[in-house]
Structure 1
Amino acid sequence: MGYKVAVVGATGNVGREVMQVLAEREFPCDEIAAIASSRSQGTEVEFGDTGKMLKCKNIEHFDFTGWDIALFAAGGEVSKTYAPKAAKAGCVVIDNSSHYRMDPDVPLIVPEVNPDAISGYSKKNIIANPNCSTAQMVVALKPLHDVATIKRVVVSTYQSVSGAGKAGMDELFEQSRAIFVGDSPEPAKFQKQIAFNVIPQIDVFLDDGSTKEEWKMVVETKKILDPKIKLSATCVRVPVFVGHSEAISIEFENEISAEHAQDILREAPGIMLIDKREDGGYVTPVECVGDSATFISRVREDPTVDNGLTLWCVSDNLRKGAALNAVQIAELLGRECLKKG
């Protein structure tokens, strides 16, 4: 016996990817519903590559009673309004927005990192999916932390425009085309021109000079992995359509060599180590698109600190950073808590 699953925000980038991942991984769905805003009501979306088309239902009138799991991929305001209604109706919400991540009564989960936290879902019937840049990073950090204990992390991110949704992808495309024909690219979604440029701002600025995206990486890593870890992040938007990259420098309490770290990462769940010390012996964002792994390359010792390592981490942000992680949470929920199918 399978589950009744609702996908909220089914017409967006992440919502469509959720549909794709559910189908690919053959998640046990007895019934699946595509939910969207009133303006998308009746729009058809495909359930993966199955050929099965689903007509979107209006979230304003949707009754979550009798549904087992709702995967929310529609933004914070939608989650704020409708996630509690779904949860109250007995449907477990897995939310991709930032709205519930730091709620102490809502578990924030990356299944390869803190699966035991799943038991806390029953407090509110809501589970939070972490920020895209945090998700891939903690997958890389967890197996190393277990062996050598991480003290401090300094990370610089190179985040694709798909992290800002369809509007971000459209802006990169339109600005690139404008430049090629001699027109002036006008910023709309981003603070400055994104085509052939990089922007050291993702989300709004906070009083301490950091951005909210950088703050998210700090507090979410502490909640998911270990509150003792000190972390500094610089988050940068780059002119890449899909795939986030991160340069991560790690300081450990205990000694760990690059070779030992490579051995650990090679065997770690969710990680693909591709680390050849030669031209092209690493992974770039273009190569990770459509893949479920978090790719690690360029593992090397950092001579500027005791027990330091530096590595390169790349992942499809629409997958591990959003849709895949949400579906993995649903799978974990089914195995450990609901145990229905």
Structure 2
Amino acid sequence: MKQFNVVVVGATGLVGKEVLAVLEQRDFPVRKLTPLATEESVGTIVEFAGEPYVVGRLEDDSFENVDFAIFTATCDVSKKFARVAAKSGAVVIDNSAHFRMAPDVPLIIPEINGELAHQHNGIIANPNCSTIQLLMALYPINAEFGVQRVVVSTYQSVSGSGKRALDELADQSLAMLTLKEPVVKQYPHRIAFNLLPQIGDFDDDGYSVEERKLMHETAKILGERNFPVSPTCIRVPVFYCHSQSLNIVLKSRASRDDIREALSAFPGVKVVDGLLAPQPGHSAEELDDYPLPSECCGQDEVLVGRIRLDETVEFGVNLWSVMDNLRKGAALNAVQILELLA
């Protein structure tokens, strides 16, 4: 089996560490692994396949004889080094937002448009985590029944903002439970015991950066310039895993069973939807089986449940989904792209 030299940029971050774990778990054929980071993390020890690796400094010459480079750092890092890596001969999988809307850069969810991964010019973009979650549930429904429009509300965990946000939620929660004043640094307002209907800055029309990402990236991946998606993105006091509520208007009629079957047949989606109604021989608790962030950590699939028809509009459907944002929302999707190219 052919093996590959792989660089992971941002190897000490939440997504970078998850990339290392996924590469190992999926037994990707790594000949040589090189974990890199910016100055503050140089010298840190990370583990891969049971071996310790010293994190090196990211430089212009870091990509010689490299097959694949997974970038899990900031937009500024990708802007400075991704094309350098590509010019050195590496194929870059970039998890930042910097290249996602570039016309010459494929934006890939392997289960949906994986065939476009081979049409790269050295750089492939990983979509935003919420875009991946939305489309993993929406795509099979759209393919089977058509979609007139979708309204999506996201409930995004603080791990999407990095380790400092995780620490801040823990510190603020402890402070409030011990009657102390919580310190606010990572978000515009306190996140502990609160909800923040803002992820990124607002534009002149009142949409946040995260909401615009959902709109624009969904359209690009589906190849429909004005695909009708209306998002509201909310940061919630949950450590890991994102949730979404979808209200969809279809182009043709579908029953609950039809929706469940379309979702169940799609790779990467797991329907967790209890029983449609109480049945002999089944407990009432089985009706309460639905996706929860607390039970989704470490899972590769997007979990979908609470499937029901919207009785206020013709061809309307409601559903709920949960996804591990560090895995399918970032690291796993990147490694799946590598697997397409290997």
Q: Normalising to structure 1: TM-score of the pair?
A: 0.95
Residues 144-153 or 71-80, more deviating = 144-153
Cα offset, 1:226, TM superposition: 3.9
- Partner residue in 2 for 1:185: 182
> In structure 2, the residue corresponding to 1:101 is in which secondary structure?
coil
Alignment match, 2:93: 94
Aligned to 1:338: none
2:38 is matched with: 37
Q: Give the equivalent residue in structure 2 for 1:127.
A: 124
Deviations along 1:226-275, whole A, 9 cap, x unmatched?
41420100000000000000001111112222110101111110011010
SS of equivalent to 1:121: coil
Aligned partner of residue 183 in structure 1, secondary structure: coil
Q: Give deviations 1:199-244, integer Å, cap 9, x for gaps.
A: 1000110110010100000010111124142010000000000000
Equivalent residue for 2:159, pick from 162, 165, 169: 162
Asked if 2 retains the 8 angstrom alpha-carbon contact of 1:178 and 1:185, the reply is yes
**Whole-Å Cα distance in 1 between the matches of residues 81 and 203 of structure 2?**
28
**2:60–2:84 Cα contact (<8 Å) kept:** no
Q: SS of the counterpart of 1:60?
A: coil
CA contact under 8 A between 1:27 and 1:331: conserved in structure 2? Answer: yes
* Ranges of 4+ aligned residues in structure 1 off by more than 6 Å: none
Query: RMSD of the alignment, in Å?
Result: 1.1
Q: Who is 1:213 aligned against?
A: 210
Q: Bigger CA drift: 56-65 or 215-224? A: 56-65
Identity %: 48
Residue 323 of structure 1 corresponds to: 331
Where 1:104 maps in the other structure, the secondary structure is coil
Query: Where in structure 2 are the equivalents of 1:1-341 lying within 5 Å?
Result: 1-47=2-48, 50-60=49-59, 62-122=61-121, 125-227=122-224, 228-277=226-275, 278-334=286-342
Give the gaps of 5 or more residues in structure 2.
276-285
8 A Cα contact 2:18 2:331, kept in partner: yes
Query: For the Cα contact (< 8 Å) 1:150–1:229, is it kept in 2?
Result: no
What is residue 282 of structure 2 aligned with on the other side?
A: none
How many angstroms does 1:174 deviate by? 0.5
The 2-side partners of 1:175 and 1:97 are apart by 28
State the match for 2:280 in structure 1.
none
Q: Is the 2:75–2:96 contact (alpha carbons within 8 Å) kept by the matching residues of 1?
A: yes
Number of paired residues? 330
CA apart distance, 1:62: 4.2
Secondary structure of residue in 1 paired with 2:305: strand
The answer (yes or no) to whether the contact 1:3–1:29 under 8 Å persists in 2 is yes
Structure 1: runs of 5+ lacking an equivalent: 335-341
SS at match of 2:120: helix
What TM-score do the two structures reach when normalised by structure 2? Answer: 0.94
Q: Is the 8 A contact 1:38 1:60 kept in 2?
A: no
